Amino acid sequence: MILIDKNTKVMVQGATGKMGSSHTKRMIAYGTKIVAGVTPGKGGTQVHGLPVYDSVKETVEQTGATCSVIFVPPYLALDAGLEALEAGVELIVLITEGIPPQDTAKLVAQVKQRGARLVGPNCPGVITPGQCLVGILPGQIFSPGKVGMISRSGTLTYEIALALTDAGLGQSTCVGVGGDPIKGIGYQELLEMFNDDKDTEVIVLIGEIGGTAEETAAEYIKRNVKKPVVGFIAGVTAPPGKRMGHAGAIISGGKGTADSKIAAFKENGMHVAMTPSEVAVMVAEARKQLAKA
């Protein structure tokens, strides 16, 4: 497993809002160690039996939280992220979508400078099945196991995770990196973490059209990753120049097409599924080969 486990202490920035409150309740029910909520001006109140503090600094001092999941409107996201960093939070999971790219760029720069980690924005979050859920992922479709997942697409994460679970292929940790062109943690860093993780045997990488992150990841896999990697690219039928769902999912200048990404995967020795359901079949086959080795 990577990033989070059963001992991770999580705070929720924006816990008293509609989305924050709803998902705080779900995360608690899953078993995540949610220690507090943070909403300026609401300090001294409670949400789902948890204390609410006015600031992240106070929350860290009182609870020892090391992870923050952020549910705030786009115009407040940069300030919320910077406040978490200044308080010493090690992992920020930023769920909010629609954040101005310049705000994300500022936050990403500060995250790198401070040696912290940012998942998102515009992402479903992170889950280590059976231990900790941080974000909006539907926990019931995941199961503990040996498959690490990295995905740009929330809904595809769910579809493929369910197919893996139904096939008896549990997951070590699943990370939704988000669909914005500017984001925190990316494929390469997560591939390195999964490659070094003793609880992960096979890695699933779910990409989509737009940008060149998947091509770069494929080159990194060939050079550095020793474990089997199964890839899937969404957007094979997308017309060029049209944004499909995510801000980062746009093809321009002939780059970022599904074909170019699939070709890069194949050229660099990855297993490539052409449909989401094929991913589970390929993962099962990769695990069989590992067992024979």
- 3 state DSSP class of 252: strand
Cα(83)–Cα(110) distance, integer angstroms: 11
Tokens of 89: 């939070």
| From 23, 48, 246, 271, active-site residue | 246
Residue 101: count other Cβ atoms within 10 Å of its Cβ.
Answer: 11
DSSP 139: G
Tokens of 142: 């995941």
CB 177 within 8 A of CB 119: yes
Tokens of 256: 């970022």
For residue 190, count CB atoms less than 10 angstroms from its CB and return exposed for 0-12, middle for 13-18, buried for 19 or more.
buried
- 3 state DSSP class of 237: coil
Phi, psi (rounded to 5 degrees) for 150: -130, 130
Cα(145)–Cα(128) distance, integer angstroms: 9
Cα(131)–Cα(5) distance, integer angstroms: 6
* Cis status, amide bond into 121, omega within 30 of 0: yes
Beta bridge partners of 9: 33
- Give catalytic status of residue 246 as yes or no: yes
**Catalytic residue list:** 246
